[in-house]
Amino acid sequence: MPTQSYAEAVYQMTHHSHLTLSVIIPCFNEVLSIEEVLNRVEAVGIANEILIIDDGSTDGTRDVLKQIEAQQRPNVRIIYHDHNQGKGAAVVTGFAAASSNVFLIQDADFEYDPREYPLLMKPIEEGIAAVVYGSRFLGGPRKAMNFWNMVANRSLTLATNILYNAILSDMETCYKVFRAEVVRDMIIHAKRFEFEPEVTAKVLKQGIRIYEVPISYNGREWHEGKKIKWTDAPIALWTLLKYRFVN
């Protein structure tokens, strides 16, 4: 980790002890994984609140969530969308409801490992970053992803870097961590997976440099319920282009 400046050291001393964490879990049709993902998040032991936003599930996920509610698990809140709107809409609902001063996005499947939260939080705790992304392309262990998925990810990240003068390695990562003030009042229009490029574009346009840390990745297959499609890539590219020139 880089040597802290005096200002960063002061920031750490005045802010570190007051950090609280909200984990936001957008969820749609994840009946086989949602409870275990929640168990894993709770086991890490650093989340002050866990918000599950069910985005109109129809596969029995809501029955599991009702059982979780009946258990009255501390710090767990569940919000239900009346109908499916998309991951972006679920995350925006989570941002509006979260009460901590740090927000972390967690998918409701097993692709990402909550045991890496301390690694993701460290740059924020040390006062050297306001936004942290967990990168799947910085050397962490990973299951080999589909070649064309990798090409799409790399291409969209390259477009991000060109358009916004950045050096990111993984714009499309799920693991995005924000100081709450960065995104709490941000107007986000995305409903689906174009959330990733929109929020990234708007963070970078604020002049905020995104800090990346390496994470592991256990990508799931299409038959296991992976939801993002190749058709989301051109939408993401258009989103990057649009927000380069409009707010």
Given a cut of 50, is residue 156 above it in pLDDT? Answer: yes
Say which residue, 190 or 145, is predicted with more confidence. Answer: 190
Q: How many CB atoms lie within 10 A of CB 91?
A: 25
Given a cut of 90, is residue 135 above it in pLDDT? Answer: yes
Domain membership flag for residue 124: yes
Render pLDDT for 173-231 as a digit per residue (tens, 0 to 9): 999 999 999 999 999 999 988 999 999 999 999 999 999 999 999 875 544 445 555 56
Domain membership flag for residue 134: yes
Question: Which secondary-structure segment (H or E) carries 36?
Answer: helix 34-44
What residues contact residue 25 under an 8 Å CB cut-off, 6+ apart?
Answer: 34, 37, 38, 41, 50, 51, 52, 53, 94, 105, 106, 107, 108
Confidence of residue 143 (pLDDT cuts 50, 70, 90): low
pLDDT at 220: 52
Does the CA dihedral 156-81-246-101 come out positive or negative?
negative
Residue 179 lies in domain: 6-245
Confidence of residue 11 (pLDDT cuts 50, 70, 90): very low
Confidence of residue 142 (pLDDT cuts 50, 70, 90): low
Q: Which of 5-9, 91-95, 142-146, 216-220 has the highest mean pLDDT?
A: 91-95
Domain membership flag for residue 1: no
Going by C-alpha positions, the residue among 218, 204, 205 that lies closest to residue 174 is: 218
The domain that contains 75 carries what CATH number? 3.90.550.10
Domain membership flag for residue 175: yes
Torsion of the alpha carbons at 36, 38, 39 and 43, rounded to the nearest 10: 140
The 3-state DSSP composition of the chain as helix, strand, coil percent (nearest 5) reads: 45, 15, 40
Going by C-alpha positions, the residue among 148, 158, 149, 234 that lies closest to residue 200 is: 158
pLDDT at 144: 62
Q: What does the buried/exposed string (b/e) look like for 55-80 if buried means 16 or more CB atoms within 10 Å of the residue's CB? A: bbbeeebbebbeebeeeeeeebbbbe
Domain membership flag for residue 41: yes
Q: Token digits for 82?
A: 């009346």
**87, exposed or middle or buried, with CB in 10 Å at 0-12, 13-18, 19+?**
buried
pLDDT at 240: 95
Q: What stretches of the chain adopt beta strand conformation (E)?
A: 21-27, 49-54, 76-80, 102-105, 131-135, 176-179, 211-214
Say which residue, 221 or 109, is predicted with more confidence. Answer: 109
Render pLDDT for 76-92 as a digit per residue (tens, 0 to 9): 999 999 999 999 999 99
Domain membership flag for residue 235: yes
Q: What is the mean pLDDT of residues 153-178?
A: 95
Domain membership flag for residue 209: yes
Question: Could you give the number of structural domains in the chain?
Answer: 1
- pTM tops 0.85, yes or no: yes
